[in-house]
Structure 1
C-alpha cells in the first residue's frame, strides 16, 4: 500500500487517511487504488468493525487531482469507482471526518460514507460545473436523496462553497465540531458503533441502503432475507446472555 493512503487500527476502528497534504489530498490513481486495497483487506478482518475516512494536514479532500487527470492518471478503480469507494462503499459502517475542504470528488467521498462529522471551518461544494464537468462520482445522484431537492439543486448548479453549519441544518452533516476536532469526534462515534455486533451492523446498514428501492409489497420479505440469519446467530444468543448476566457481550461475528 502506498504511503499516500495510511491505515491505523485502534479499538476495532480503522482510520483511513488520504495522505497528500501538499495537494490538499486530491485523489489520483495511487490514492484510489490505496483506498480500495485497504478496504479489501479491512472488510475481511474480524478485529475491525467500523472505519473513519479522513485527510491529512487539515484538509479532507479537494477532489480529483486535475493535474494528474490532464496526464491521463485517472482516480478510479474498476468496480469501485472514484477514490476506490464511490461506486462500492464498504459493507461495514464508515464515518467521514472532515476538516478544511470537501470539494468535488472530496464531497463525493464524504457522501459515500454513512455518517459525516465536520469541523465548523469545513467547506463543502460540487464545483464541477465551473470546470465544465459533472459531479459524476455520486454527487448529483446521492445529494438529492440526502437533503431537500431545492437545496441539492442550489449546491449542484451553482458550484459554490457551503459551510458545515449549513449542511448540518439540512441534515447532511451529523456533528459539527471546533476546528481540529472532527477526527476525534468521528473516532469516538466509530468506536461506539464498533462496540455493537458485527453481523447486526452489516445487516442494518444493508437494509437501510437497499430498502430505498423496495416496494411496499416486498419490503418485509426482502428485509427478512437479510436479517433472519442475524437472529439465528451465535452473537444474537450472546447478546441476550450478556444482558441477562449484566456483562459486556463478546462478539464473534458468527
Structure 2
C-alpha cells in the first residue's frame, strides 16, 4: 500500500479538507509511510487558500490505534522532523483541525486527537494511553496535554494504569465538543467545520494563535503576547464588514 492509499484526502464540502487514515486492517496504526502521507495532507490544508478547516478521521470504524508496533523495531517512531507524530503533534497549524472519532483513539491515535482543536466522537468510541503497558511513554502530547484537558487524577489514572476512557465520560469531562450516535460523527464534524468557516478567516487564525501562544502564561505576560497579534485584526476589512453586517442584520461577506 503506497502513501496515497494509506491516507485519503477529499473535499466533502467547499473549504473543508477531510483527511482519512486508511489502514483499517490494523485500526489505522501509524507507520512511516502513513506519517509522511498525513504530513503532506496537512501541508495541503495549510497552503491551499481555498481550504479553511480540516477534519481528521479513520477508516473502518476506528480512528487510530497509534504507532504500528510491528514496524517500530525497524522504523522507529513515525515522526516528521520538527512536526512530531504524522506531522501534527508538534506542528503549529494556522487552520483549525477537527478530530472525528469513531471506535478506538489509542496511544498515538489519542495524541493526534489531542493535537486537534475540536473533537467530535461517537458515543461508542473510547480513548486510551496504554504506552506504559508497552514499556513506552506517551511522548507526543499525551503526558503533556491530557492533564490540562481533564481532571488531573483522571488523566494520571489513564497514563499510569492504561485504563481506557469511554467517549461519554470524555464528553462529561469536557474533552469532547460533541457526542454523537455511532456512525454519525462525520456528519456532525462536517456541520461543525461549516460553522467555523462561516467566520472571518483572519480572526479564526489569530484566535487560535493567541490561545496556543499564551497558554500557561500569567495575565500580564499573556497580554504582551496577545496584543501584537490581536490589535491588527481590529483594523482589517473583515472587522469593518462584521460591524456593518451586524448593524444591517445580514450575514457578513468576508
Q: 1:162: which partner in 2?
A: 165
Change (3 A) 1:27 1:89: farther
8 Å CA contact 1:48, 1:194 repeated in 2: no
Note if contact 1:2-1:30 (Cα within 8 Å) is conserved in structure 2: no
* Distance in structure 2 (CA, Å) of the matches to 1:173 and 1:217: 30
Residue 48 of structure 1 pairs with residue 51 of structure 2: yes
Residue of 4, 7, 17 corresponding to 2:6? 4
Q: Give the equivalent residue in structure 2 for 1:241.
A: 244
- Structure 1 gaps, min length 5: none
* Secondary structure of the corresponding residue to residue 42 of structure 2: helix
Give runs of aligned pairs for residues 53-202 of structure 1, distance below 5 A.
53-72=56-75, 74-202=77-205
Distance (whole Å) between structure 2 residues aligned to residue 144 and residue 249 of structure 1: 39
Q: Following TM superposition, by how much is the alpha carbon of 1:161 offset from its aligned partner in structure 2, in angstroms?
A: 1.7
How many residue pairs align between the two structures?
A: 251
Runs of 4+ in 1 over 6 A off after TM superposition: none
User: Which residue does 1:207 correspond to in 2?
Assistant: 210
Instruction: Give 1:139 shift.
Output: 0.2
3-state DSSP of counterpart to 1:85? coil
Q: Give the TM-score of the pair, scaled to structure 1.
A: 0.94
Q: Which runs of 5+ in 2 are unaligned?
A: none
Equivalent residue for 2:18, pick from 6, 9, 15: 15
Per-residue CA distance 1:90-120 (angstroms, 9 max, x = gap): 2111110000100000000000011111111
Question: How far is 1:190 from its partner?
Answer: 0.9
Provide the TM-score with structure 2 as the length reference. Answer: 0.94
- Give the match's secondary structure for 1:247: coil
Q: 1: distance between equivalents of 2:16 and 2:52?
A: 6
